Amino acid sequence: MRRISFAVGALLALMLSNGRVLALDTVLYADGFESFAGGGSPLDANTAGPNQGPNGGPGNPWFGPAPPNLRVVGAGAGISSGAAGPHGGTQMLTASAASDFDQDWFNLANRLNSGANFTGDVKLDWYFYDPNGAGDANYRDYAALGNYTIASTAAASSLDYTEASGGNLNGGAVSQRLSLGAAAPAGFNSNQYQARVVGATDGLVGGWFNVGSRSVGWHEGTIILADPNGASTTVSFYIDGINVLNHAIMNSTGVNVIELNDGFGSTVGNYDDITFSLTPEPTSACMLAFAATLLIRRRKRCAP
């Protein structure tokens, strides 16, 4: 009885207050950029260099418009003097240059979902380095889960991008960008970070919101899509584990890319340790609790 009670207690301890179960998250992709050629080499697979790769794989899944975009670097590159360096390992990402508007994408539909968009029960988690903290209006780096028509067209042919686009997804329609980090829309507060839901009208212009408080150092960003519910699917934004915004996703076709934006201002930051996971449905916790209760009752009836 004691062994079963301990096991049940351990399972129940994995539950979160919102009804999710941490143990059931399934990591589909994780990248600390340790396997890439560093020393300032471009991350883009669609440019000549040591990280070059074929469109659609195998190998490097990251690509961007008019490369080079983000670069793979070690400690001290793009971060303020005296900073600790990469969040994990020995390598991280930074922009090619300040105000260079560098973007890199990962085609989720092609790489992880047999060509289909993800419409819910997924989580993007990453770390970003803010070099100056509150008051720096020139730090404008943010990550996003997006929905691009070109990404869908490419994924249908088992590609990351169409050859005609040359790795630039911006040439087509963008129905969603679930963004989190630092941005500068009209009315933004440079003492806070920003989150975006395209189509939202209850925040700043363009679907942006002021969220959280800026500070120097590495921060964890998280975007979670709840159970699929069309345009009403809830998207939740977290900074350092704190829920800073919940909102309806506003589009019914989900997301198909991870997007990293760096060097959008004259202050350059860093990215590291990106993870994309499937998350359990909220009912999973309830089902686990019910199963645990049945197990305890059955054990009591069988006990001598």
Angstrom distance (rounded) from CA 299 to CA 239: 42
Using one digit for the tens of pLDDT, what is the confidence trace for 71-85?
999 998 877 655 679
Task: Express as a percent the part of the chain with pLDDT over 70.
Answer: 83
Same domain, 49 and 7: no
Task: Please check the confidence at residue 299 and state whether its pLDDT lies above 60.
Answer: no
Residue type, 185: P
Same domain, 221 and 299: no
Range of the domain at 16: 1-24+284-304
Q: What is the pLDDT of residue 81?
A: 57
Using one digit for the tens of pLDDT, what is the confidence trace for 142-162?
999 999 999 999 999 999 999
Q: What is the pLDDT of residue 17?
A: 44
Same domain, 5 and 120: no
Same domain, 225 and 293: no
Burial class (CB in 10 A: 0-12, 13-18, 19+), 205: exposed
Task: Please check the confidence at residue 24 and state whether its pLDDT lies above 50.
Answer: yes
Average pLDDT over residues 92-107: 97
Q: What is the pLDDT of residue 125?
A: 98
Using one digit for the tens of pLDDT, what is the confidence trace for 246-294?
999 999 999 999 999 999 999 999 999 999 999 986 554 444 454 455 4
**Strand ranges across the sheet with 174-181:** 62-63, 102-107, 257-262, 142-148, 174-181, 193-196, 208-211
Q: What is the pLDDT of residue 57?
A: 85
Same domain, 240 and 170: yes
Average pLDDT over residues 198-218: 97
